[in-house]
Chain A
Amino acid sequence: MDQTLFVVGVNHRTAPVAVRERLAFSEDEIVGALARLRAAAPTVNEAALISTCNRVEVVGVSSDPARAIAETLNFFATDRNVEPGAFSNAVYSYTARDAARHMFRVGASLDSMVVGEPQILGQLKLAYAQAAVARTVGMVLHRAFHKAFTVAKRVRKGTLIGHGAVSVSSAAVSLAGQIFDKLSDKTVMLMGAGKMAELTARQLKTLGIESLLITSRTFDRAVRLARELGGTAVPYDSYKPYLKMVDVLIGSVASNKPVLMAEELETVIRERRYRPMFLIDMGVPRNFDERLNAMQNVYLYDIDDLGAVVQRSIGDRKREAEKAEQIVEIELESFLKWHAGLDLTPTIKDIRYSIERLRDVELGRHRGWLAQLEPAQRERVESLTRGLTNKLLHRILSGLKQRDDETLDAAFAAEVARRLMGAELDARDAEIEDPDGEIDDVDADLDESENDDGSPGA
């Protein structure tokens, strides 16, 4: 009856990409894989498979988590055709509280390579949807996933964990957004052939920049890139007249001395009527004269400045991650409380105890005339009462256990049992607390109340 959550898998921290890629499942393989897992791992009652660039893991539910984990690992090895030795030392596994915590941390992007990156939540939702299609989601996983989504949402709303540029190019884009209101009416000029500069131009392009000028010492390259990105190539020896229409200038020209001096830009700035200009210097050695930053409405960032922005963002995210961990812990407690409530075992024990107890008491009260019966007759009375109580018990217990699809709150069941069988349970509890106490008095009360009902023994 005990449904324990478990997690087993590898991630970017425990396994290099060479291992992760061998275990990975593509998006359309997952539903089939879950069916195979179900067949190969009989102790796994519920399962979902999360496979991203940074992790391959199974989240499951089992009454024997240790065996379920071993079966799942075997499944990984056979299904992915990887010898177990190749990944066994990279595997982590968690059960119960730790498994739930891990799942919530993954969803909240606390376990990501770049903490706070937003894709993981979508990937988790996909994993849940696929498991639902494969019909391997039961009550516990259903709840665990939804709790993980709630945690992720609370973390997104309550912390700044997803904020801040964590790469040089996104830092440049973020700064452009702090200088300019909208990018669609701006002009970007890309100078030179650096990879990072190109990436920045690409990102700006996806954010709506329409006018992109590209200049490069090798004109062919400029033309090729212009065609690819949807820009206009400008010959390198005549790009300067274009500067007055450029709002964002990205430099990554290989040159030993700056290609743009402050004096050159002075007239440009005036011609632009002081409209702001963002100069992104990605060249090493630097392309732009550092005095440019002192000019009216000109903002110059070199590669180190951008790096510093990234470092600050990462620092901020780490601080925010601490707040996020607290949210995870709070939600974890609420999930575990629910999970503990799922367990009907104590309630079933209570009911069984109460009914047995009623029978004992009843037989005890009639001890007198029962003793006068023939042994065979006495046997039949005993078996009659036993049969009756067993039938009753069976009916109640099977009713309680029929709950595969619907969530029967065990706390509610316990409450109902307590109301129905209160007297017996109270008596037992009193006995536990105070062994030589008032148990007889309670029995006496019980007898009296039975007499009031006019039972046949009176």
Chain B
Amino acid sequence: MNTLWIMPALGCYAVSAALFVFDRAQGRTRESGYAVGMLGAGAVFHAFDLTARGFQAGNIPVANFAEALSFLAWLTALAGMVLIVRSRMTVIGAFVSPAVTLALGVSAMTMNGGRLELPAPLRSVWLPIHVTLAILGYTMFVLAASVSIVYLALESRLKSKRALGAAGDDAPSLEKLDRINYRLLGWGFMMLSLAIVSGAIWADATWGHFWSWEPKEFWSLVIWILYAGLLESRLTVGWRGRRAAALTIVLFTVLVGSFVGVNLIFPGKHGGSFG
């Protein structure tokens, strides 16, 4: 269920998104500082919402798809802020803030009213570890895809000779975008691996087997292999730049498909069915 914090959180995120997009459209960064601030304010309200629901559940609030999406949105907001500030690339905000707003909006609308009881086998210390790792991994892939979009836009401008004589205030270079994309993919891949391992250990402790080929597990493995391939191609052949950025976006759409699909269409242990 939604708490009273959800509207202020959504509002801040939306304002942040509007400011980032407005700045981008004007080709400047004048409002970006406020946009980052609004993103942070949204994350604070959002944290109250998560905490309130977490107390009710007695664990981290990820009992169904809406809650998982909300948690993903929150981590993306935080990680996005870190990325924007550390890399000084406010252009990323024009993707992160709208994505966070959309995700939380969808989450708030699909959140059903009843209070969710976690089934006994899931009430474990492994739940926050496993879920946080998995969602952090997804967060990295969201950011990597955002960076890749920026990369492709700049690359196509340079290739087609539409480049500007002026790089904007915080305009990142292709090299920097490519490097950040690679790092984000690396982190995401590591989180995803740890999530799978922790999930397997937890499953073994609870049900006595590491792996049961349920839809979520199957798709996670597929995604893990795809991202492994993407990282591998860079390390061996040196695929970087446009090809890497395009593949990052393709893999991200597969990821979104599996996240939505597995949770809504083939709910297993991971889906919304244990509510």
- Given the known interface contacts A274-B239, A276-B241, A296-B242, the answer about A178 and B174 at a Cβ–Cβ threshold of 8 Å is yes
How many B residues face the partner with a CB closer than 8 A? 26
Whether the Cβ atoms of A276 and B243 lie closer than 8 Å is no
Whether the Cβ atoms of A312 and B161 lie closer than 8 Å is no
Interface residue tally on A, bucketed by range: 20 to 34
Q: Among A165, A305, A308, which residue has its beta carbon within 8 angstroms of that of B166?
A: A165
B173 CB, min distance to chain A CBs, angstroms: 5
Asked whether B109 is an interface residue with its Cβ less than 8 Å from the other chain, the reply is no
* Distance A313 CA – B176 CA, assembled complex (angstroms): 24
Asked whether A151 is an interface residue with its Cβ less than 8 Å from the other chain, the reply is no
Whether the Cβ atoms of B165 and A310 lie closer than 8 Å is yes
* Distance A410 CA – B167 CA, assembled complex (angstroms): 47
Chain A, residues 150-190, CB within 8 Å of chain B (1/0): the string is: 00000000001001111000110011011111000000000
Asked whether A63 is an interface residue with its Cβ less than 8 Å from the other chain, the reply is no
Chain B, residues 223-245, CB within 8 Å of chain A (1/0): the string is: 00000000000000111111100
Which secondary structure characterizes the binding site on chain B? loop
A 251-284 contacts with B by CB, 8 A: 270, 272-276
* Distance A179 CA – B177 CA, assembled complex (angstroms): 10
> Residue among A170, A175, A181, A305 with the most chain B CB within 10 A?
A181
Whether the Cβ atoms of A293 and B159 lie closer than 8 Å is yes
* Distance A181 CA – B167 CA, assembled complex (angstroms): 12
Asked whether B164 is an interface residue with its Cβ less than 8 Å from the other chain, the reply is yes
- Given the known interface contacts A299-B158, A299-B159, A305-B161, the answer about A178 and B238 at a Cβ–Cβ threshold of 8 Å is no
Whether the Cβ atoms of B166 and A313 lie closer than 8 Å is yes
> Residue among B158, B164, B243 with the most chain A CB within 10 A?
B164
- Given the known interface contacts A296-B243, A305-B161, A313-B164, the answer about A273 and B238 at a Cβ–Cβ threshold of 8 Å is yes
* Distance A297 CA – B166 CA, assembled complex (angstroms): 21
Q: Among B164, B168, B174, which residue has its beta carbon within 8 angstroms of that of A179?
A: B174
* Distance A308 CA – B160 CA, assembled complex (angstroms): 12
Whether the Cβ atoms of B240 and A297 lie closer than 8 Å is yes
B207 CB, min distance to chain A CBs, angstroms: 45
Asked whether B24 is an interface residue with its Cβ less than 8 Å from the other chain, the reply is no
What are the residues of chain A within 8 A of B27 when measuring CB–CB?
160
Q: Among A177, A305, A310, A316, which residue has its beta carbon within 8 angstroms of that of B167?
A: A177
Asked whether B28 is an interface residue with its Cβ less than 8 Å from the other chain, the reply is yes
A contacts, CB < 8 Å to B: 160, 163-166, 170-171, 174-175, 177-181, 270, 272-276, 293, 296-297, 299, 301, 305, 308-310, 312-313, 316
Q: Nearest 4 CB-CB pairs, A to B?
A: A273-B238, A313-B165, A163-B166, A165-B165
- Apart from A175-B163, A297-B241, list 13 A-B contacts with CB within 8 A: A160-B166, A163-B165, A165-B165, A179-B173, A180-B174, A274-B237, A274-B239, A296-B242, A296-B243, A297-B242, A301-B161, A309-B161, A316-B164
